[in-house]
Structure 1
Amino acid sequence: MRHKFSWVNNQRTKKHSSMALEAWYMEENEEDKRLPHHKNPKEFVSLNKLAEIGILYWHLNPKNYENDEELNKIRETRGYNYMDLLDLCPEKIENYEEKLRNFYTEHIHADEEIRYCLEGSGYFDVRDKDDRWIRIWIKGGDMIILPAGIYHRFTLDTSNYVKLMRLFKGEPVWTAYNRPQEAHPARQEYIKNVVENSGIALEAH
């Protein structure tokens, strides 16, 4: 098993919290998935709440990503030796609609998913401990880490463009395991270390 977990203080998930990204509970309906899907009234989710389900967050300077000491420190500390860039928009991606449908199909990964938004914006949807959808709106400078085993999906917003940095430990493996995956080792470890430990932030490494 590659995935080990250790408990950390919530403060480590709140780098530059004054620049916090926006997140909220979703209203599930048949409207365009690229719309915000706010509940009425709106129900926002704090960084502490995201930390409770294992999500880490930093706000960095996207205009200086090639020489950013803070980004380099994160990569070194967490062992992210692989990096690539992804421009996601209709003009630059073959089979764009098909890929977007795949991204929006609920799934897990056997490893962390690390995404750093350099330009544009988009939505990561994640399940909370009660299986409710939380929509996370990432914009330029937002870097989030989704733990292995968390159910999630991704879509662009109405801007139809995002430029993402993807980080990984070792050789990249982008395999998605569509729900249900309750027997998957990464899902079982996530349940054990996050869902069954209410209120405790977690860091994968």
Structure 2
Amino acid sequence: MVRSWYMDNKLDDPQDPHIGEEIDTKQMCDRTGVEYWYFHPDHIQTEHSSLEKLKNDRHYSYEDEVTVQPTMENYEKKLETFFNEHLHSDEEIRLVLEGSGYFDCRDFDDRWIRINVFPGDLLILPAGIYHRFIPDKNNYIRAKRFFVGEPVWLPINRPADDHPARKTYLEEKVVRYRNGNQIVVTGDSIS
């Protein structure tokens, strides 16, 4: 299951863990607006009513799979793109099927939180959150991607503070968080 921590300030290999202060899943969700679910890996490929309900409730109408590994075309270039800090105008939804990796998300105080994902972990990164991705030292992750409508994966590199998705993220998530109205985005632990 997912682990998360504030990253240390070292600037060496991005595939190293860079473990700083560890935080639990609820803290990670509360401090970023990221939503988290867990689906037992043995049940993901079979009919899973909880996953189907989530997809229906959030109107995910398209899904595909992506595998990130050294044999993929332009692997090094793709890693650069994934690891460059960016945001999207839509949610980013990933369900890990195999392997592991790191999603780094900026918290509401602009500090990096590293989210270490494993099979069964599903993350929903809100539109407008600054984030990046890198596989861990195993250099392998296979994940399902979910979309509302046709797939759009357009990274908008930082700085993008004037982008409408970023403004909405700041208004809906950060302002409420800082005003003491903790947002409930932890999802359910589903097995």
Aligned pair partner of 1:47 in 2, 25, 48: 25
Taking the aligned partners of 1:103 and 1:202, their CA distance within structure 2 comes to 28
Could you say what secondary structure the match of 1:87 adopts? strand
2:61 to 64, 81, 85: 81
Query: Structure 1 vs Structure 2: percent identity of aligned residues?
Result: 46
1:86-165 matches, within 5 Å, as 86-91=66-71, 93-165=72-144
Distance 1:107 1:202, change over 3 A: farther
1:201 corresponding residue in structure 2? 183
Q: Does 1:68 align with 2:36?
A: no
Letter in 1 for 2:10: N
Find the residue that maps to 1:148 and give its secondary structure: coil
Distance (whole Å) between structure 1 residues aligned to residue 11 and residue 36 of structure 2 = 30
Instruction: Name the CA distance, whole Å, in 2 between partners of 1:89 and 1:164.
Output: 12
- TM-score, scaled relative to structure 2: 0.90
Query: Mean Cα displacement is larger for which, 96-105 or 25-34?
Result: 25-34
The equivalent of 1:185 in structure 2 is 164
Q: SS of the residue aligned with 2:146?
A: strand
How many residue pairs are counted as aligned between the two chains?
180
1:45: Cα distance to partner?
A: 1.7
Equivalent pair of 1:80/1:169 in contact (CA under 8 Å)? yes
Structure 2 residues without counterparts, runs of 5 or longer: 186-191
SS of corresponding position for 1:197: helix
Confirm or deny: 8 A CA contact 2:67 2:141 kept in the other structure.
yes
Task: Give me the whole-angstrom Cα distance separating, in 1, the residues matched to 2:184 and 2:128.
Answer: 13
**Equivalence for 1:7:** none
Which whole-Å CA distance do the structure 2 matches of 1:61 and 1:85 have between them? 18
2: CA distance between counterparts of 1:80 and 1:47?
Answer: 24
Note the alpha carbon deviations across 1:54-97, whole angstroms, 9 max, x for none: 11111102233231111111101111111001111012x10000
Which runs of no fewer than 5 residues in structure 1 stay unpaired? Answer: 1-18
Counterpart Cα distance in 2 of 1:44 and 1:104? 21
User: Quick check: 1:37 aligned with 2:18?
Assistant: yes
